[in-house]
A and B are shown apart, each in its own frame.
Chain A
Amino acid sequence: FVGVGGGNDFQWCFSQVKGAIDEDVAEADIISTVEFNYSGELLATGDKGGRVVIFQREQESKNRPHSRGEYNVYSTFQSHEPEFDYLKSLEIEEKINKIRWLPQQNAAHSLLSTNDKTIKLWKISQRDKRAEGYNLKDEDGRLRDPFRITSLRVPVLLPMDRMVEASPRRIFANAHTYHINSISVNSDHETYLSADDLRVNLWHLEITDRSFNIVDIKPANMEELTEVITAAECHPHQCNVFVYSSSKGTIRLCDMRAAALCDRQSKFFEEPEDPSSRSFFSEIISSISDVKFSHSGRYMMTRDYLSVKVWDLNMENRPVETYQVHEYLRSKLCSLYENDCIFDKFECCWNGADSAIMTGSYNNFFRMFDRNTRRDVTLEASRENSKPRAILKARKVSTGGKRKKDEISVDSLDFNKKILHTAWHPKENVIAVAATNNLYIFQDKIN
């Protein structure tokens, strides 16, 4: 999947880019989350302005075999509005932190979207037919006088312009004192979890007025707080299992059958620290920004500041694979601490087959790692490489003294161009990469 060379090797091509081209990016347009639905037909993005945009893949047409289904806007709606907490005199941002799709149960699509405090269940339904020929009312809706009706007819369904409607069906509010960082739909399709800095709650999708607190790491004395929850996810198959990661680089796997309050983990994953690389920044860079189970449910992947690690759920003392994302930044940690980049939360994702993983970096670079061949590649999401079906060229950051042609030096990297959110189609080699306010879609080359 990550082959770079020519010939039969796999290559990535540019497919589409969504978003404005302006140099001046409005804060509200910055994409804050990207997620494919279960079939890959729909691609949702959330932004800092609280909006959700859903793209739908067009059916592949025989007329244009070269353009695999393109993603076009399906629905746009305002999910969250800015709020004001009067008691604390603080604003509650409308930024969408996460979107998670629900499995499709009928013609409509449903997703959960969340900001710092409130989770909402949105139902997106479309109408492309309307009924005509009612007996009791006119075409314009006025009721007909029943005495005037002399014959009965069967209404017929006629096509109409497709109308897509998004409506909030549930609002799950007031359950989080701290900022929500994760939501995850359970495999039972009935419950989901939401996690903030100190607590994890379990909800039933139908019930909005209460949730169960299943993890609480808030110390009795806030003075003793040294660790926070950074991410949480439900196991893809075992509805009683979930994991949550911490700012100290640990992952706890919990079994909800063991106790109502899962404060004692079933498994504790932590890699022992390498004493030779210890610095004042060790803890910060070990903080896990994202955790994702593999589709198989056998592995999980964690992202910390400099690396991605794959863990076997049966082995707690160290990861089975470690991939360096941008090791050249290790010597720049002080500067990255100063400009706060060291706190950037990068996400990571698996491909459908669990054979490759992808994560973002700076300068609009993103990295992909093939778990089987152990090959990796650095690609760039930029307007320059935006010709249709243009093959993405591998990028390289020069670490040593001599900078080869086409390489870019570490000091030239643009740290404002960060790729924090990426998503991989669940079945095909189609990826979505969010670069600030632009959404890039890349596909594999069709030979």
Chain B
Amino acid sequence: MFPKGTKRKFSDSREEPVAGGEDVNQSSLAAVRMLSSYSLQRQSLLDMSLIKLQLCHMLVEPNLCRSVLIANTVRQIQEEMTQDGTWQIMTQALSAANAAAQCSADRLVATEVLCRQTEAAQGEQVPKPFPVVGSEGCPAEEVLEEEEEAAAAEVGMTMSTVSPQAPTSYLPGTFGMDPCWEEEETGEDDDDDDEEEEEDSEECGSGSEGEERERDSLVEDTRTAEQVFGTFEIKNPAPSPDPALEELFSDVDASYYDLDTVLTGMQSVPKMGPYDLLESLSSHGPSPLSSSTSCRSDLNELDHIMEIIVGS
């Protein structure tokens, strides 16, 4: 529903006339106030956009047009912020906050979503365009869970020992799929064969469950290994930002669709990784809805990257 007058409208505040005008000092003060309110609104618009990109519909493929428009808006804001130097200030502040936040997991929820966006965005990129990459879309949460449960029944003991909480049961698995599928991807070509693949996959998909079973077993195999890997991750806190990684990001030009970079970013710098979130969830008891949402969206991201690789 349309929010009624509680929020400050972006353009409304821009249209506010500068107060008074009698005194030069007063008018410049008002101008400064207006500018900072503009910056605040611009920032909130950026945050809103990033969240929109991240929270894609899980069951159905997200709307490509909407995603592209939001991504373009984000890029526009970033460009403007880079031009007036705000971008650098913000990312520096955030990385400092990030380092501090490692000690207190409570702040994970608020900073997590935005931090990870802006972290990667240091190199002028946003690792959130998975819905934008289009046909690949976002994987179905529910379906994933079903698959996990099915495989879980078989993997059985291993899963329950390693990850006692229900939410984690599909987490390491999805993460674990990455290395496995990545190998397949290197052989794979590009999008020319999209339509053909599409046709084949449609035929296969409708025809056989064999394919599904195959996939499940693949998941199964890697999962056991990744369960251990996952646990290992939790024990060791994430390292501080890798300057080499930042360098890697820096010469990428607004290419927030770069899956390789994103993937690399995910694996080597899992700063506020999903594991950390779960760690906080388990140790801090009932968590606010937003954290589980972002937790879920994180692992859906990972899963989504995997899906994209498979898809391409």
Selecting from A148-156, A328-336, A349-357, the interface stretch reads: A328-336
How many whole Å from B240's CB to the nearest CB in chain A? 28
Q: Knowing A90-B59, A227-B68 are in contact, say whether A279-B205 is a contact too (CB < 8 A).
A: no
A290-336 contacts to B, CB under 8 A, are 330-335
B10-64 contacts to A, CB under 8 A, are 10-12, 14-15, 41-42, 45, 48, 52, 59-61, 63-64
Contact B9 A332 (CB under 8 A): yes
Contact residues in B for A27 (Cβ distance below 8 Å): none
Q: Tell me, in angstroms, the Cα distance from A338 to B41 when the chains sit together.
A: 13
Of all chain A residues, the one with the shortest Cβ separation from B139 is A89
Selecting from A172-180, A370-378, A437-445, the interface stretch reads: A172-180
Contact A335 B7 (CB under 8 A): yes
How many whole Å from B300's CB to the nearest CB in chain A? 11
A5-39 contacts to B, CB under 8 A, are none
Contact B72 A335 (CB under 8 A): no
Interface size, chain B (Cβ < 8 Å): 62
Q: Tell me, in angstroms, the Cα distance from A15 to B2 when the chains sit together.
A: 31
Of all chain B residues, the one with the shortest Cβ separation from A201 is B195
A169-214 contacts to B, CB under 8 A, are 173-175, 177-179, 197-198, 213
Contact B5 A411 (CB under 8 A): yes
Q: Tell me, in angstroms, the Cα distance from A84 to B209 when the chains sit together.
A: 13
Q: Is B143 an interface residue (CB 8 A)?
A: yes
Selecting from A218-226, A390-398, A427-435, the interface stretch reads: A218-226
Contact A331 B12 (CB under 8 A): yes
Of all chain B residues, the one with the shortest Cβ separation from A209 is B199
Contact residues in A for B14 (Cβ distance below 8 Å): 279
Q: Is A91 an interface residue (CB 8 A)?
A: yes
Q: Knowing A223-B255, A223-B257, A331-B15 are in contact, say whether A89-B144 is a contact too (CB < 8 A).
A: yes
Q: Tell me, in angstroms, the Cα distance from A333 to B10 when the chains sit together.
A: 8
- Choose one: A88, A230, A340; the contact of B137 (CB below 8 Å): A88
How many whole Å from A94's CB to the nearest CB in chain B? 11
Q: Knowing A198-B134, A226-B72, A227-B68 are in contact, say whether A87-B310 is a contact too (CB < 8 A).
A: yes
A59-98 contacts to B, CB under 8 A, are 84-93
Q: Is A147 an interface residue (CB 8 A)?
A: no
How many whole Å from A362's CB to the nearest CB in chain B? 9
Contact residues in A for B204 (Cβ distance below 8 Å): 86-87
Q: Give the interface size class of chain A.
A: 35 or more
Contact A86 B135 (CB under 8 A): no
Contact A179 B190 (CB under 8 A): no
Contact B65 A225 (CB under 8 A): no
Of all chain A residues, the one with the shortest Cβ separation from B142 is A89
Q: Tell me, in angstroms, the Cα distance from A327 to B163 when the chains sit together.
A: 55
Contact residues in A for B68 (Cβ distance below 8 Å): 225-228, 247
Contact A89 B3 (CB under 8 A): no
How many whole Å from A180's CB to the nearest CB in chain B? 12
Contact residues in B for A197 (Cβ distance below 8 Å): 64-65, 134
How many whole Å from A208's CB to the nearest CB in chain B? 13
Contact residues in B for A230 (Cβ distance below 8 Å): 65
Contact B190 A220 (CB under 8 A): yes
Q: Is B77 an interface residue (CB 8 A)?
A: yes
Q: Knowing A87-B310, A228-B64, A280-B42 are in contact, say whether A247-B3 is a contact too (CB < 8 A).
A: no
B241-259 contacts to A, CB under 8 A, are 255-258
Q: Mark each residue of chain B from 73 to 106: 1 if its CB lies under 8 Å from any CB of chain A, else 0.
A: 1001100000000000000000000000000000
Q: Is B69 an interface residue (CB 8 A)?
A: yes
Q: Mark each residue of chain A from 218 to 258: 1 if its CB lies under 8 Å from any CB of chain B, else 0.
A: 10111111111010000000000000000100000000000
Q: Tell me, in angstroms, the Cα distance from A283 to B77 when the chains sit together.
A: 12
Of all chain A residues, the one with the shortest Cβ separation from B52 is A340
- Choose one: A84, A228, A334; the contact of B10 (CB below 8 Å): A334
Contact B64 A179 (CB under 8 A): yes
- Choose one: A116, A335, A337; the contact of B2 (CB below 8 Å): A335
How many whole Å from B99's CB to the nearest CB in chain A? 30
Q: Tell me, in angstroms, the Cα distance from A341 to B66 when the chains sit together.
A: 11
Contact A90 B61 (CB under 8 A): yes
Q: What are 16 inter-chain pairs, A to B, with CB distance below 8 A?
A: A87-B204, A88-B135, A88-B311, A90-B140, A174-B199, A177-B134, A179-B61, A179-B63, A222-B134, A223-B256, A225-B257, A284-B69, A335-B9, A338-B7, A340-B52, A343-B69
